[in-house]
Structure 1
Amino acid sequence: MRKIVFIEPNPPDFHIFSRMPLPRLGTVLLGTRLRQSGYEVKSYVESVGELDLKDVLSADLVCISTITSTSSRSYEIAKLVRKAGIPVAMGGPHVTYLPEEALQYADYVLRGEADDVIVDFIKALETGKGLDKIAGLSYYKDGAIKHNSTAPFCKDLDTLPAPDFSVISGMETENIRKLTIAPIMTSRGCPYDCSFCSVTGMFGQKYRFRSKERVIEELENHRKYGGDWVFFYDDNFCAHKKRTKELLSTMIEKRLTPNWTAQVRVEIAKDQELLDLMKKSKCHTVYIGLESINPQTLKLYNKQQSVEDITNCIRTLHKNGIRIHGMFVFGSDQDTTDTIAETVRFAKKNDLESVQFLILTPLPGTKCYRDLEGEGRIISKDWSLYDAHHVVFEPKLMSYYELQTETMRATKEFYSLWQIARRAARFDLFNVGIKTYGHSLTKKWIKNNQYFVEYTRALTSAGKRIELAAKKTAEDVKEKFRQIELAGGVPGQSAGSPYNR
């Protein structure tokens, strides 16, 4: 077994970050480790470039990474690959929580973090021995599913290799400049355990950090390729304020100050020294899970922050010249249509640069999923709809249709032509660009998803559940793979296939 192909499927629909392809680091790190161990590795990230099916089907093993919203497409790809006689391994949050489902389509599932087991897993496949010793592995043995013991979290993140992005098709060494925004991980884990978030189950509730030296080394490598944008990939970049300050101070000292963005929590606003260093080191925008301005909803989400914290954070960050991308989640058992309308007014009044108004989505592995599943309120398990833009559960204080359409209306209002004109009047060209993009994207999304809006209307009118025909996903997959039918053996597919370009 020499050639291994990784695939990171595209989400089923476009979203606010669709024009900024950013590969998830999991497959890149695993591919880097295998390449360093002597294997031929290629990774296809569909947000970066299309699959070359002929190349994929020349692999000895295909590994597919999936989140919930990409799992339907992942399963379709897995079926086609296995039909050609090639084994498939799957990993990622969705299959970590639902390995039995994944094993209907894949030969192996690697649950949780696979960094410390991936090489041993490949060697076990090569020798046909030792699969029972691979921590975190689920597979069929003697006709029954076997789940090996859970893989421990990687304790020392400095043992992970620096990600080699040239493993990604389209980002080979000569094209590495295509990575306009470099994802750099400095930590894993999160202790907050929000009710709708699957991070803690995947990466644990204890923070683990990379050393400052390793992070600086990656920043230096990125600069060599002319990169001037960095996204710190952590779930909470400022989790350990003292450590973050030391890193930012070193970046300033070494003049390693690309424009950078990161996910943070509202608590950063209480530390002026940290804010000064963020601004001086060229922090451009922070992404904050503000989630709600309804205190009861914040409690239900286990967010551990108040509306006052949110308001103070926005005011303080703006005072320090730091832009904010605010993320709100609608649909808790305490939310009404008034909550949504008030949130839009709040976002506009507080001059947020950009927002995502998301619909509560019960991702497998979360408390939200367990609660709604236990109450029989999940109305669809078409995973392609689990992108936080579609209603997939029965709301308590709103109808399906109200939650869907009011969330869409909120986004339209925030990114309205009037809001664009207001920014233009201030000569705020950055925000004019952001809001123009948001306006265009919102119109396109609504047009493409009108079928789903009508579905929620029918649900509401009927007063009961109606099984959603998964035509969108099924027809899309059928069309995508129309030219690459595997029944007669693959390598004879049409030269016109988009996967051959």
Structure 2
Amino acid sequence: MLINRISMIEAGSIWPHLYKKFPIPRLGVVLLGTILKNHGFDVKIFVEDISEIDWSFVESSDLVGISTITSTAPRAYALADLIRKKGIPVIMGGIHPTFMPEEALQHADYVVRGEADLTFISLINYLRKGSPNINDIKGISFKDSLGKIYHNPIPDLIDNLDILPSPDFSLLKGFRSNNIYPISTSRGCPFDCKFCSVIQMFGRRYRFRSVEKTLIDIKMAIKSSNGIIFFVDDNFSAHKGRTKDILKGMIEEKIKARWSAQVRIDVAKDEELLRLMAESGCSTLYVGFESINPQTLKYYNKKQDLNDIVNSIKNIKSAGIHIHGMFVLGADTDDIETIKRTADFAITNGIDTVQFMILTPLPGTPFFFEMQDSGRLIHMDWSRYDGHHVVFKPKMNIEMLQIETIQAMKKFYSWKYIIKNFVNLNFYYALIGLYGKILINKTLKNIGEYLESIHSLSFEKTV
């Protein structure tokens, strides 16, 4: 098969939400595109949340790769169906096809499961040359001529992430200097939160790029951007000594950046680490608080308590760093008062921005299997598995969980929040609050139709 031109697509989200305003491309599709370019292919990357697809390039491609998470799977499938009708083969990958490969194979010619950095190019070479033998390519799912499905063993996790190239964002259509530049310094997470799919995809073993390679990636980002970067590691400070070395390197080499990262609350127990973060340009830490309900924290297997959360907020803010607090609502141990108290807690403790997400059973997670086995999944409209819709039968009232979560967002992003930040010249946060208020009011008006649909589905399953 002749393959020269390849399109890589990251499917976009369907439903609006507050953080769609600030899209950050997932690195998987960009990294694969970079690897293909380095092997001599003519490649372009399209991330729908950033720019429209150039269909003239796609339709002239010899092959198309599509990456998707669970909430974008319906859109990814629609794109794959459209492209295959034009006679162009499609390979699908990403976290959702990894755990739902047979479903994905209804729309794609091949599925690449798990870490695809090495296996994807092997599959391309098989399609071009007939070698290596497809049965020897780990992580590939495919159908034979009779329609029988085969799932090759999942590939080994990559130990040394330094073998991977720095992602080339010039391949990504519409990516501009004012976009937030994502950087990955590690994979995996040593913790095991019940609802998280990271461990299932990337393992509990913490793997990382060297400090030297990471600093090179950061410098490349600064050259091609406005200096705003986001470390997309699932836990940027999982290995604190290494994180400190990166930050010291940024300071010593006078790298001017404004950066953010995802961390756990234990980062706030290390005064030196917080100081280095502030000195190196950290503007915001995205902290997975998850809950203020002690029973829910145990249910989530978070290994933290409310005092830890309160102290972490104080310490992070004392270091001059903003906090984006992430909370997950709707566990069996929660009730309506939990949601209301969470909003009050976030306001009272001065958290700068928040995400109040509805607990979502993502395929591959322990929570998904628990809900599936107990018959508590309401539906599998994957587009609603975005953390903003109730998709399982909680212990509390379904409608109240849905509405009160939105109301909690509305309470946080109030006129008081907007005016306070405007008066204090925090125009960025004032605009976030204003945009959030508009979107939340719109969501409240439109959520009734969804609630009616899931009410009938939930009722049907109980009669």
TM-score tier after normalising by the smaller chain length: over 0.9
Structure-2 residue corresponding to 1:472: none
Q: Alpha carbons of 1:226 and 1:426: their partners in 2 closer, same or farther (altered >3 Å)?
A: closer
Q: Pairwise mapping of residues 79-228 of structure 1 onto structure 2 (< 5 A)?
A: 79-129=81-131, 130-143=133-146, 144-171=148-175, 176-178=176-178, 180-228=179-227
1:414-459 deviation line (CA, Å, top 9, x unaligned): 1111332344454544432332222122223334444213435666
Q: For residues 11 and 54 of structure 2, what CA distance do their matches in structure 1 show?
A: 13
Q: For residues 59 and 446 of structure 2, what CA distance do their matches in structure 1 show?
A: 32
Aligned length: 459
Q: In the alignment, is the contact (CA less than 8 A) between 2:181 and 2:225 conserved in 1?
A: no
Q: In the alignment, is the contact (CA less than 8 A) between 2:378 and 2:457 conserved in 1?
A: no
For 1:25, which of 24, 27, 38 is the aligned residue?
A: 27
Question: For residue 398 of structure 2, what is the amino acid of its counterpart?
Answer: Y
TM-score w.r.t. length of structure 2: 0.96
Q: Secondary structure at the match of 1:69?
A: coil
Q: For residues 439 and 281 of structure 1, what CA distance do their matches in structure 2 show?
A: 33
Unaligned runs of 5+ in 2: none
Structure-2 residue corresponding to 1:352: 351
Q: Pairwise mapping of residues 84-483 of structure 1 onto structure 2 (< 5 A)?
A: 84-129=86-131, 130-143=133-146, 144-171=148-175, 176-178=176-178, 180-396=179-395, 398-456=396-454, 463-465=459-461
What is the CA distance between 1:95 and its match in structure 2? 0.6
Q: For residues 395 and 453 of structure 1, what CA distance do their matches in structure 2 show?
A: 14
Q: For residues 297 and 315 of structure 1, what CA distance do their matches in structure 2 show?
A: 22
Question: For residue 134 of structure 1, what is the amino acid of its counterpart?
Answer: I
1:443-492 deviation line (CA, Å, top 9, x unaligned): 233344442134356668xx55499xxxxxxxxxxxxxxxxxxxxxxxxx
Unaligned runs of 5+ in 1: 468-501
Question: For residue 43 of structure 2, what is the amino acid of its counterpart?
Answer: V
* The 10-residue stretch of structure 1 (427-436 or 133-142) with the greater mean CA deviation from structure 2: 427-436
Question: For residue 128 of structure 2, what is the amino acid of its counterpart?
Answer: E
Q: For residues 408 and 340 of structure 1, what CA distance do their matches in structure 2 show?
A: 10
Q: For residues 90 and 459 of structure 1, what CA distance do their matches in structure 2 show?
A: 30
Q: Alpha carbons of 1:54 and 1:355: their partners in 2 closer, same or farther (altered >3 Å)?
A: same
Q: For residues 443 and 326 of structure 1, what CA distance do their matches in structure 2 show?
A: 21
Q: For residues 419 and 117 of structure 2, what CA distance do their matches in structure 1 show?
A: 49
Q: In the alignment, is the contact (CA less than 8 A) between 1:125 and 1:131 conserved in 2?
A: no
The alignment-based identity, stated in percent, is 48
Q: For residues 421 and 226 of structure 1, what CA distance do their matches in structure 2 show?
A: 31
Q: Secondary structure at the match of 2:141?
A: strand
What is the CA distance between 1:181 and its match in structure 2? 1.3
For 1:63, which of 53, 62, 65 is the aligned residue?
A: 65
Question: For residue 70 of structure 2, what is the amino acid of its counterpart?
Answer: T
Q: Secondary structure at the match of 2:317?
A: helix
What is the CA distance between 1:142 and its match in structure 2? 4.2
Q: For residues 215 and 236 of structure 1, what CA distance do their matches in structure 2 show?
A: 15
Q: Secondary structure at the match of 1:62?
A: strand
* The 10-residue stretch of structure 1 (136-145 or 441-450) with the greater mean CA deviation from structure 2: 441-450
Structure-2 residue corresponding to 1:492: none
What is the CA distance between 1:345 and its match in structure 2? 0.8
Question: For residue 76 of structure 1, what is the amino acid of its counterpart?
Answer: A
TM-score w.r.t. length of structure 1: 0.89
What is the CA distance between 1:15 and its match in structure 2? 2.1
Q: In the alignment, is the contact (CA less than 8 A) between 2:190 and 2:238 conserved in 1?
A: no
Q: For residues 39 and 140 of structure 2, what CA distance do their matches in structure 1 show?
A: 20
Q: Alpha carbons of 1:425 and 1:457: their partners in 2 closer, same or farther (altered >3 Å)?
A: farther
What is the CA distance between 1:150 and its match in structure 2? 1.1
Q: In the alignment, is the contact (CA less than 8 A) between 2:234 and 2:262 conserved in 1?
A: yes
Question: For residue 177 of structure 1, what is the amino acid of its counterpart?
Answer: S
Q: In the alignment, is the contact (CA less than 8 A) between 2:379 and 2:457 conserved in 1?
A: no
What is the CA distance between 1:120 and its match in structure 2? 1.4
What is the CA distance between 1:203 and its match in structure 2? 0.7
Q: Secondary structure at the match of 1:43?
A: strand
Structure-2 residue corresponding to 1:483: none
Q: In the alignment, is the contact (CA less than 8 A) between 2:378 and 2:454 conserved in 1?
A: no
Q: For residues 380 and 155 of structure 2, what CA distance do their matches in structure 1 show?
A: 28
Q: For residues 414 and 457 of structure 1, what CA distance do their matches in structure 2 show?
A: 28
Q: For residues 427 and 85 of structure 1, what CA distance do their matches in structure 2 show?
A: 55
Q: Secondary structure at the match of 1:332?
A: coil
Q: Which has the higher contact order (CA 8 A, sep 6+)?
A: 1
* The 10-residue stretch of structure 1 (142-151 or 202-211) with the greater mean CA deviation from structure 2: 142-151
* The 10-residue stretch of structure 1 (57-66 or 225-234) with the greater mean CA deviation from structure 2: 225-234
Structure-2 residue corresponding to 1:8: 10
